[in-house]
Amino acid sequence: MSSATDRLSTVTGRLDQSLQPLADGFNRLVGDYVGELNGLQFALVFGSLAAVLTAPFWGTFGLVRAMTVAAIWAIFAMSWDIQSGYTGYISFGHSVLSGAAAYTTAMLVHNVDPELSMAITIPVSILAALVVGLLIALPSLRLSGPYFSLITFVAVLIFYRLIPSFSAYTGGETGIQSVEVFTYDPIARYYYMIVPMLVIAVVLTVIARSNIGLILVSIRENEAAVNAAGIDATKFKIFSFALSSIPMGIGGVLLVHFTGGVDPTTFIVVDRSIEMIAMAVLGGMSSILGPLGGAFFLIVLRDYILTDLAGLSSPARWTIFWGLVLAVLVFVREGLFRKLWHTLERYGGGQP
């Protein structure tokens, strides 16, 4: 077994060495901001990037559609990660944030003016997500222990019950289905989702690899030490929630212009929050790119492989989805993509 591993790492080591000059160039250019790569990791990151950017030219309609949805969920999973994954204050209520943005857009169109420009609805909706985020974060993040998680959970339940109570404005259970979609062209639509996702991935990665990421991880590991270091842990916890709310708002806006409407089941119910967590956990919490990978993996599996290729029914698809998440939780606690990342590190040729 170990000799097979050795032989494999001789081959991969050589491959790593041949890619190293490219990786070195990358490291010199931006390594300080996003972390350094070896040759194999460079190949993974830029290979995936190339695949994602060219998907409409080689993928089927069903695959591209699944990847379009995955891009939005990747934004949710990464946004959840910068807050919950990094600080360890687990939010069970992130669908409230994307829901707030989506409902703001839909309610502005439905109640105020159907002709309202996206130049107005989009920023207002993202701001709404931020405001809701701060409303949750300010009172709850001063508490420690399980209270934060419980409050985020209750926030979803309240939001969900408020929708039918104000059905004249919210459309109740059926929601509002009069929101304009970005475009009906599936290829253009794909890039409408992918480009914001990539920008958010880069921004969050840079922040996560900075001092701020180090402080957020330290809050998770030992909050008392952070305060003893002269750093206001509460301020950073609230900041991480705000930092999470903004891309959640962006994702909510993308989703409402993808589906052309809002309803409580698609946007708010607590299942949606748990799915964001599942994607982040499956990919690898507190790594930003892990949750991105987790979202693509789970959604392409659920909406394309199990649907279009395997032709399974919805309950079967969801059972496999959650079964897989459970398996990762039990057997690969660090997450699939973090595991892959560390494997590439090990099979690389090492620093010359």
| CB nearer another protein, residue 212 or residue 274 | 212
**Closest distance to another protein from the beta carbon of 342 (Å):** 14
Question: Using CB under 8 A, which of the segments 4-12, 71-79, 141-149, 233-241 binds another protein?
Answer: 233-241
| Pattern 92-121, another protein, x by CB under 8 A | ------------------------------
Question: Using CB under 8 A, which of the segments 50-58, 101-109, 179-187, 231-239 binds another protein?
Answer: 231-239
Mapped to the 3 state alphabet, what secondary structure does 247-295 carry? HHHHHHHHHHHHHCCECHHHHCCHHHHHHHHHHHHHHCCCCCHHHHHHH
48 lies in the binding site for another protein (CB under 8 A): no
Among the listed residues 89, 153, 239, 267, the single contact to another protein using CB under 8 A: 239
**Closest distance to another protein from the beta carbon of 100 (Å):** 22
**Closest distance to another protein from the beta carbon of 27 (Å):** 17
Nearest to 74 by CA among 299, 328, 316: 299
**Closest distance to another protein from the beta carbon of 69 (Å):** 32
d(CA 34, CA 201) in angstroms, rounded, equals 11
d(CA 69, CA 254) in angstroms, rounded, equals 10
Nearest to 337 by CA among 278, 297, 303, 277: 297
Residues 183/189/195/197 CA torsion (nearest 10 deg): 110
228 lies in the binding site for another protein (CB under 8 A): yes
Query: Residue 338 corresponds to which tokens in the numbers above?
Result: 């973090």
**Closest distance to another protein from the beta carbon of 237 (Å):** 11
**Closest distance to another protein from the beta carbon of 218 (Å):** 5
Considering only residues 198-227, where is the footprint of another protein by CB under 8 A?
206-207, 210-212, 214-215, 217-218, 221-222, 224-227
The residue whose two tokens read 């379009």 is 68
Among the listed residues 49, 229, 309, 327, the single contact to another protein using CB under 8 A: 229
**Closest distance to another protein from the beta carbon of 16 (Å):** 23
Q: What Å distances lie between residue 119 and 107, 170, 242, 246, 302, CA to CA?
A: 15, 22, 22, 16, 33
Query: Residue 305 corresponds to which tokens in the numbers above?
Result: 């492989």
What is the DSSP track for 97-130?
HHHHHHHHHHHIIIII-TT--HHHHHHHHHHHHH
What residues make contact with another protein under the rule CB under 8 A?
206-207, 210-212, 214-215, 217-218, 221-222, 224-233, 235-236, 239
